[in-house]
């Protein structure tokens, strides 16, 4: 709590709206990534265009959050509705950016963890759409997370070792990948079906790289609990005995966010000082 108060106190109030706008702008770019990466398309060209009529979207209709509200979520030219997800991703990214500023203050840790959180947002929505976690994000993310631990470690931010030491990051990669790989192989051996893809393995390795090995148990616990709750709700919706498979990646991302924001409080609760 002391660290959080210090970070809030060290951040001038005007930082927060600036960071909110910055987060919304990045969220707009993340929407492009979510749509184009699964298709193997460039995330730079062509410029943003309406998915229905392919008309390029002018800059004044491409202002994050504002344009969606002013146009009623529709294309100015063909009047077809845009998915509300565009607005949601921009708002979510903006709010996460503000939360990270409150958590870490205007530091290198803020920038590194914002990049990490942005990757989690893209991975979550791509997995929801396609059931695929793109290696083009998670594999470079593993290397970036390990490198970030080397650069940041001399400036720790809290008692949960965020940023983690390089050794903790490396162990996190090995445990994260190894644990889910073994779980997937055991499940496949006993059931004869594949219950977890390789993308989940590399995603948990990326989480371990950014947050260190202590994040793995909490992230898995939160992912399992949240996934079970959603799964049970969907089973009730489709009826007794119904099956409604759901991707595990978004829940792993949710577990990682839980550790990032609340891991220190959880550790203090179970392992109080003294």
Phi-psi region of 32 (alpha: psi -120 to 50; beta: other; left: phi over 0): alpha
Domain count, the chain: 2
162 & 236 share domain: yes
**Any idea which of 83-87, 190-194, 216-220 has the lowest mean pLDDT?**
190-194
101 & 173 share domain: no
Nearest to 27 by CA among 113, 104, 95: 95
130 & 247 share domain: yes
37 & 91 share domain: yes
Last residue of a domain, one of 79, 105, 131: 105
For residues 47 and 191, which has the higher predicted lDDT (pLDDT)? 47
Tell me if 184 sits within 8 A of 199, measured CB to CB: no
157 & 34 share domain: no
Last residue of a domain, one of 67, 84, 105: 105
Q: What domain range includes position 222?
A: 107-274
195 & 273 share domain: yes
54 & 121 share domain: no
63 & 172 share domain: no
For residues 79 and 153, which has the higher predicted lDDT (pLDDT)? 79
205 & 130 share domain: yes
Last residue of a domain, one of 73, 105, 137: 105
For residues 220 and 156, which has the higher predicted lDDT (pLDDT)? 220
H or E element, residue 99: helix 85-104
Structure tokens at 3: 């660290």
pTM of the entire predicted model: 0.89
């Amino acid at each position: 709590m002391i660290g959080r108060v210090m970070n809030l106190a060290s951040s001038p109030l005007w930082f927060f709206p600036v960071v909110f706008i910055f987060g919304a702008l990045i969220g707009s770019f993340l929407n492009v990534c979510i749509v184009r990466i699964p298709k193997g398309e460039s995330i730079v060209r062509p410029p943003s265009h309406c998915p229905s009529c392919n008309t390029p979207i002018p800059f004044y209709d491409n202002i994050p959050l504002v344009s969606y509200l002013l146009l009623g979520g529709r294309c100015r030219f063909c009047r077809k509705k845009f998915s509300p997800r565009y607005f949601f991703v921009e708002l979510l990214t903006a709010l996460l950016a503000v939360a990270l500023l409150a958590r870490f203050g205007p530091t290198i840790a803020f920038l590194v963890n914002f990049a990490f959180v942005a990757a989690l947002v893209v991975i979550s929505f791509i997995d929801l759409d396609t059931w695929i976690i793109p290696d083009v994000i998670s594999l470079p993310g593993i290397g970036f997370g390990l490198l970030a631990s080397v650069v940041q470690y001399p400036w720790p931010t809290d008692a949960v070792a965020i940023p983690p030491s390089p050794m903790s990051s490396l162990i996190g990669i090995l445990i994260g990948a190894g644990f889910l790989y073994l779980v997937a192989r055991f499940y496949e051996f006993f059931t004869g079906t594949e219950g977890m893809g390789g993308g989940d393995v590399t995603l948990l390795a990326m989480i371990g790289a950014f947050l260190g090995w202590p994040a793995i148990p909490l992230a898995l616990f939160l992912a399992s609990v949240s996934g079970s709750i959603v799964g049970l709700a969907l089973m009730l919706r489709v009826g007794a005995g119904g099956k409604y498979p759901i991707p595990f990646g978004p829940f792993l991302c949710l577990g990682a966010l839980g550790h990032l924001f609340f891991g220190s409080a959880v550790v203090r609760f179970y392992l109080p000082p003294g």
